[in-house]
Amino acid sequence: MSLSLSISPPISLSFSPPPPPRLQGDLCQCLGLSHHITVIRGPTLGLGSPGEMAGGQGGRVRVSDVDFDRVPVRVYEPPAAGGGEGGLRRAVMFYHGGGWALGTTKMGSYDVLCRQMSDELNAVVVSVEYRLAPEVHFPVQYEDCLAAAKHFLEPGILGKLSVDPQRVAVSGDSAGGNLAAAVAQQISVDDSVSVKFSVQALIYPVLQGLDLNTPSHQQNHNIPMLHRSMMARFWLLYLGVDTSLHPLLLSPSLLHHPSIPPSVRSHLNWTTLLPAKHIKHYKPVGMETGSQEVTGQEGDLLPGLLDVRAAPLLAEQGVLGRTPRAYILTCEYDVLRDDGLMYAGVAVSSHHYDDGFHGAFSFAHSPFYFDVGKRMIRGYMDWLQENL
């Protein structure tokens, strides 16, 4: 006698890839297991560069981790002095991006960029490890960056590092560009700081959060690497306000709220500040009916969005007129494009990439290589070489 066993229907075994980190983070937060940002950070913390893994001495550049006024920084020093009067060198203070909540000086893309700047420009590069949300909120990130900048600009520190005080830049990408612009503004008007930044180089910076309905937000609302909804979430994290305000931040009624003066709206009037080629067919989104005076949680949101330390685009002309000349890189496929294009009032060199997307600056090296990222870095380096 024979015995046969059949299973019907047949069992199919398949394994699906895990969901993206952002979705994993949302799930963990909904279940009360962890904050979603903590989960997203996981994959980024291991992205060290070969030089960093080798103990910080890879290549020609000397790397050291120190504190500037209790703020951790990573200092990159070129192999030799020279290139300036008296053998002094250029310097760049750099703030990494990541929505004020992600990123680190040790990430491969930032470490490689800083090494390249130091070696190619013969510059001392200081990359700042400012604290992140949700553990801290605005203005802590800004205050960390400002404290590190003031310490670095002290004549004694510059002298110790053989830096020419007339050739010091401040730079950053995305949220780091926001911090660089805000710090540059404050340093420029602070009479207690004798050495000022000579240039600012902003890479697709986020400069305001009051109007998330600009043409670039409308055009690129679902374009990677930075969705419009994600940008709103980063703003809420940075300001430390309740996530229930997410719809309000995306609403066109916010900019027309009665508590916002017309003088502030004039800084965001993209119908006059943007070239026609970037306005395209987009129209201003009208004020929604039923807008009420600020009450409750709305009052927690607007003060931060109106603070020039968080929104450098709102600075008055008297401040902008004292800030150093600027390099501003913008990308066509980026919700933040119009923030950079509207940053008027300073001597600006605007470099726009029609094929660029947010985050492309970090995709110029293997294994994540895009030609536009390589061209962006080349243009950025060339500008610093000529203007710093």
Count CB atoms within 10 A of the CB of residue 173: 30
Q: Which whole-number Å values give the CA distances from 174 to 37, 83, 234, in the listed order?
A: 17, 30, 11
Amino acid present at 238: Y
What pLDDT, on a 0 to 100 scale, did the predictor assign at position 297? 64
Tokens 């969705």 locate to: 227
| 71 bridge partner residues | 68
pTM score = 0.87
Show which of 274, 304, 334 is a domain's final residue. Answer: 304
Residues 176 and 94 placed together within one structural domain of the fold: yes
Residues 69 and 127 placed together within one structural domain of the fold: yes
The domain in which residue 238 lies consists of 215-288+296-304
What pLDDT, on a 0 to 100 scale, did the predictor assign at position 347? 73
Residues 78 and 130 placed together within one structural domain of the fold: yes
Residues 277 and 320 placed together within one structural domain of the fold: no
Q: Tell me the longest C-alpha to C-alpha distance in the chain.
A: 100
- Rounded (5°) CA angle 248-250-254: 55
Cβ atoms of residues 310 and 139 within 8 Å? yes
CATH number of the domain within which 204 lies: 3.40.50.1820
Residues 194 and 316 placed together within one structural domain of the fold: yes
- Please list the active-site residues: 174, 334, 358
Could you tell me if residue 21 is inside a domain?
Answer: no
Three-state DSSP state, 256? helix
Euclidean distance between CA atoms 46 and 40, whole angstroms: 12
Q: Is the peptide bond preceding residue 252 cis, with omega within 30 degrees of 0?
A: no
Tell which residue, 139, 336, 387, has the closest CA to residue 223.
Answer: 336
Residues 174 and 235 placed together within one structural domain of the fold: no
What pLDDT, on a 0 to 100 scale, did the predictor assign at position 234? 98
Three-state DSSP state, 190? coil
Could you tell me if residue 117 is inside a domain?
Answer: yes
Cβ atoms of residues 187 and 154 within 8 Å? no
What pLDDT, on a 0 to 100 scale, did the predictor assign at position 180? 98
Residues 177 and 321 placed together within one structural domain of the fold: yes
What pLDDT, on a 0 to 100 scale, did the predictor assign at position 7? 35
Tell which residue, 146, 152, 147, has the closest CA to residue 165.
Answer: 152
> What does 216-277 look like in DSSP terms, one character per residue?
HHHHTTT-TT--HHHHHHHHHHHHT--GGGHHHHH-TTGGG-TTS-HHHHHTT-HHHHS-HH
Cβ atoms of residues 296 and 243 within 8 Å? no
- Total number of residues shown for the chain: 388
Helix (H) or strand (E) holding 185: helix 175-189
**Quick one: 117 exposed, middle or buried, by C-beta within 10 A (0-12, 13-18, 19+)?**
buried
**pLDDT averaged per 10 residues, the chain (length 388):** 38 36 43 55 51 51 97 93 72 98 94 96 98 98 98 98 97 98 98 98 98 97 95 97 94 89 95 95 71 60 97 95 96 98 84 96 82 96 98
Encoded tokens for 112: 């490689």
**Structural domains counted in the chain:** 2
Residues 87 and 187 placed together within one structural domain of the fold: yes
Show which of 304, 336, 362 is a domain's final residue. Answer: 304
Encoded tokens for 107: 């990430």
Q: Which whole-number Å values give the CA distances from 181 to 103, 301, 334, in the listed order?
A: 18, 21, 19
